[in-house]
């Protein structure tokens, strides 16, 4: 089984992904955490020192390494879908889009200062990013879960329930 969680920051890809992976006895990989570990830099440092394009290169190279594994659940970074080659790498994955409206994402991230693409006007930054990505998420997702009104635990339940319905469990 190969599962990739896609979606914006603040949609519980990591927190729900860890629990789902454990429940399904899958290896869990948080792509951003792996990039930080392998590069020795926080994502925000990579953005500030080297720029977004360098981060996207690291993201693609790291994804390419881990996509060779089976029985894995990957929590991707929110922008992984911006590179079509990344989506080719994830072709054989069940891609679950954790979709939340901008208001829900904002309420989850309003006090988080670690997101390099969010400027001081976080709500408008989130709205712009969401507008740029929504059609791409929709294009690549095999499954969409709207978790605007769900917490992480409810998101876990929704993922597992949908996978059971698809008889993947």
Q: How far apart are CA 63 and CA 151, in angstroms?
A: 27
At the topology level, CATH places domain 2-158 in Rossmann fold (3.40.50)
How confident is the model over 103-111, as a mean pLDDT? 87
Amino acid 122: pLDDT: 82
User: Confidence band (pLDDT; 50, 70, 90) for 41?
Assistant: very high
Q: What is the pTM of this model?
A: 0.92
Could you give the angle at which helices 52-66 and 31-39 cross, rounded to 10 degrees?
Answer: 110
Where along the chain do its domains lie? Answer: 2-158
Q: How far apart are CA 94 and CA 105, in angstroms?
A: 23
Amino acid 113: pLDDT: 72
Closest Cα partner for 74 from 14, 15, 134?
A: 14
């Amino acid at each position: 089984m190969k599962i990739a969680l896609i979606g914006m920051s603040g949609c519980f890809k990591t927190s729900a992904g860890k629990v789902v992976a454990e429940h399904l006895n899958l290896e869990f990989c948080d792509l951003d955490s792996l990039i930080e570990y392998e590069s020795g830099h926080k994502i925000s440092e990579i953005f500030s020192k080297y720029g977004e394009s360098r981060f996207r290169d690291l993201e693609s190279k790291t994804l390419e390494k881990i996509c060779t594994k089976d029985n894995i659940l990957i929590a991707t970074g929110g922008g992984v879908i911006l590179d079509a080659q990344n989506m080719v790498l994830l072709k054989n994955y069940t891609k679950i889009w954790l979709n939340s409206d901008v208001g829900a994402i904002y309420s989850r991230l309003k006090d988080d200062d670690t997101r390099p693409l969010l400027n001081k006007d976080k709500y408008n930054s989130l709205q712009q990013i969401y507008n740029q990505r929504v059609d791409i998420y929709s294009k690549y997702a095999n499954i969409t879960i709207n978790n605007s009104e769900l917490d992480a635990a409810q998101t876990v339940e929704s993922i597992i329930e949908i996978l059971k319905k698809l008889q993947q469990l």
